[in-house]
Copies of this chain bind each other. A is one copy, B any other.
Amino acid sequence: MTQFFSVADVDNLSQLVDEALQLKSNPFAAENLGKRKTLGLVFLNPSLRTRLSTQKAAIHLGMDVMVMNMDKEGWALETKDGVVMDGNTVEHIREAAAVMGQYCDILGLRSFPKLQDREEDYSEGLFRKFIDYCKVPVISLESATRHPLQSLTDLITIREYWQETIRPPKVVLAWAPHIKALPQAVPNSFAEWMCRAQAEGMVNFTIAHPKGYALAEEFTDGADLIHSLDEAIKGADFVYVKNWSSYEDYGKIHPVEGKWMIDSSRLALTNGAKVMHCLPVRRDLELASEVLDGPDALVIQEAGNRVWAAQAVLKRMLEQLQEK
């Protein structure tokens, strides 16, 4: 594995999930694999879970970790080519990426979308340039349109909590309210991974969202798309709660009809569903406190599993570096 940017970078999904769960049961099994290797984590946007869990995963593998908060400790990067750099940007992504590739064996990058120009965000230009120029394996710590470490974590968590073998679980991605315009990266990515998992017989996948909040089709191929939350979550085994802004009217928030927040009474419509969220979650706006504090919430366990997702991916990358 030389990049981890989308589900397409994973050859065998089920195997990667299994490997992550094996690492969970034996975190230090490969503690010499990453010896003398350095992981650089580059953040153009803030991070809590992603930074700490990926750092922890690297430690388990014996790697050294260097964290670079470019937004706080660094300076503005230019991403466009053919621009005379006489403005606010101090360094071009071409040089910045290439230089960081000189110092690190594997790089992670986080970069949020600006939510102003859909084409620009969805081209993933910054991320692709970073991969091109740094010349080392790159792991996405969330890009403009995807958050694959979160999605792998989610699939790990679903497998961990679904022991039944007769049928795959019904998984519902449920849009939730918010006061800010959030990226589509987490729901895009979750949908992309669940559609792949569905194609491999691991889950049945439904998406519920208000009209005007459809995700880009490239991510939802094969999913049931429903505009009624109550109808969608009927019989659900897992409900994945997440807000996102409009893809159609790009980056905007529209007033929605009806109530979209999940509380205990609504949860009663499901098949005793476990409730997931990538965090941070705004209590009683996105999701009721009574659910978050109740026995069906998996959000903390899910966050804990971020370590094993990152560790499984880093392990693959290190193994490939070793083969060279």
In the complex, A300 Cα to B303 Cα: how many Å?
Answer: 37
A residues 279-320 in Cβ contact with B at 8 Å: 279-285, 289, 292-293, 299-300, 303-304, 307
- A95 close to B (CB within 8 Å): yes
Check A95–B281 contact: CB distance below 8 A.
yes
Most B-side CB within 10 Å, residue of A56, A73, A289: A73
Chain B residues with CB below 8 A from A55, complex form: 66
Minimum CB–CB distance for A1 against chain B, Å = 23
Chain B residues with CB below 8 A from A28, complex form: 36
- A96 close to B (CB within 8 Å): yes
- A249 close to B (CB within 8 Å): no
Check A49–B99 contact: CB distance below 8 A.
yes
Check B48–A68 contact: CB distance below 8 A.
yes
A55 nearest CB neighbor, chain B only: B66
A73: which of B47, B95, B96, B283 is its contact (CB, 8 Å)?
B47
Question: Would A281 and B72 be within 8 Å (CB), given that A48-B99, A103-B52 are in contact?
Answer: no
In the complex, A300 Cα to B104 Cα: how many Å?
Answer: 14
Q: Could you mark each residue 91-121 of chain A with 1 if its beta carbon is under 8 Å from any beta carbon of chain B, else 0?
A: 1101110111011100000000000000000
Minimum CB–CB distance for A188 against chain B, Å = 21
Task: Report the contact-size class of chain A (Cβ under 8 Å from the partner).
Answer: 35 or more
Check A284–B85 contact: CB distance below 8 A.
yes
In the complex, A46 Cα to B92 Cα: how many Å?
Answer: 16
A residues 32-57 in Cβ contact with B at 8 Å: 36, 38, 40, 43, 46-49, 51-53, 55-56
In the complex, A191 Cα to B271 Cα: how many Å?
Answer: 57
A52 nearest CB neighbor, chain B only: B103
Check B82–A289 contact: CB distance below 8 A.
yes
A284: which of B84, B96, B104 is its contact (CB, 8 Å)?
B84
Chain B residues with CB below 8 A from A282, complex form: 85-86, 90
Question: Would A91 and B281 be within 8 Å (CB), given that A28-B36, A48-B96 are in contact?
Answer: yes
A72: which of B40, B72, B100 is its contact (CB, 8 Å)?
B72
Minimum CB–CB distance for A39 against chain B, Å = 11
Most B-side CB within 10 Å, residue of A53, A95, A281, A285: A95
A103: which of B56, B74, B84 is its contact (CB, 8 Å)?
B56
Check A40–B68 contact: CB distance below 8 A.
no
Question: Would A68 and B46 be within 8 Å (CB), given that A90-B280, A90-B282, A284-B84 are in contact?
Answer: no
A residues 104-158 in Cβ contact with B at 8 Å: 104
A-B contact pairs, 30 of them (CB 8 A): A28-B36, A38-B56, A43-B73, A46-B73, A48-B68, A48-B75, A48-B91, A48-B99, A48-B100, A51-B68, A52-B100, A55-B66, A59-B64, A81-B289, A83-B284, A85-B282, A85-B284, A86-B282, A86-B285, A90-B282, A91-B280, A92-B283, A95-B279, A95-B280, A95-B292, A95-B299, A98-B303, A99-B279, A102-B300, A103-B304
